[in-house]
Amino acid sequence: MNEIIKLVKTCRVTAGVAERLRLAEEIFHLIEPDLRFFVFRAIRPTAAKDVLQEVLKAVATGMKKFPGGSNEEFWAWCYRIARNKLNDHFRRQAADRVPPMPPGRTLAVGGIVRAGSVVMNESRTQAKFVRVLKWNP
């Protein structure tokens, strides 16, 4: 595993584009399987492909700015990028799933709407739901 940090350090100081690309490809082949396992374990395979691509792209573009000097720091940095990309994916997924309610609309669930409150007659569960709605407008 010591070879990864050597490749990263060499890649950071190499001036030639062709040589940097060759080093980046070697680094990619060493880190991709572990990052693939990490990402694919967290989300569906169809979405995981896109997230993995974003992770690898972020690692490649941030390689020059990598602040560490050891294998452990490099792997921690890679996994932090992967976690952040997964969190971005989950945020986008949550935003797609729950559209915000327009201002001024009132939610009525099985009851009658009166001046912004919901009157319910069906069950205790619905009454609890109404209490929650009243306290969380």
Q: Are residues 111 and 93 both part of a single domain?
A: no
Cα separation, 18 vs 45, whole angstroms = 33
**pLDDT above 90 coverage of the chain, percent:** 34
pTM (two decimals): 0.67
Q: Would you say residue 130 has pLDDT above 60?
A: no
Contacts 24+ apart (CB under 8 A), 95-100: none
Which amino acid would we find at residue 111?
Answer: G
37-65 pLDDT, tens digit each? 999 999 998 899 999 999 999 998 888 88
Q: Are residues 10 and 50 both part of a single domain?
A: yes
Looking up residue 27, the CATH number of its domain turns out to be 1.10.1740.10
Q: pLDDT category, 107, cuts 50, 70, 90?
A: low
Mean pLDDT over 12-41 rounds to 90
Domain that includes residue 30, residue range: 2-97
Q: pLDDT category, 87, cuts 50, 70, 90?
A: very high
Instruction: Write down the pLDDT at residue 110.
Output: 53
Q: Are residues 29 and 87 both part of a single domain?
A: yes
Q: Are residues 33 and 74 both part of a single domain?
A: yes
Q: Are residues 20 and 64 both part of a single domain?
A: yes
- Which structure tokens are listed for 45? 């395979």
What's the domain count of the chain? 2
Mean pLDDT over 19-40 rounds to 91
Q: Are residues 68 and 130 both part of a single domain?
A: no
Q: What are the C-alpha distances in Å from 18 to residues 12, 23, 24, 58?
A: 13, 9, 10, 20
Q: Are residues 106 and 92 both part of a single domain?
A: no
Mean pLDDT over 79-108 rounds to 79
Instruction: Write down the pLDDT at residue 116.
Output: 45
Q: Would you say residue 74 has pLDDT above 70?
A: yes
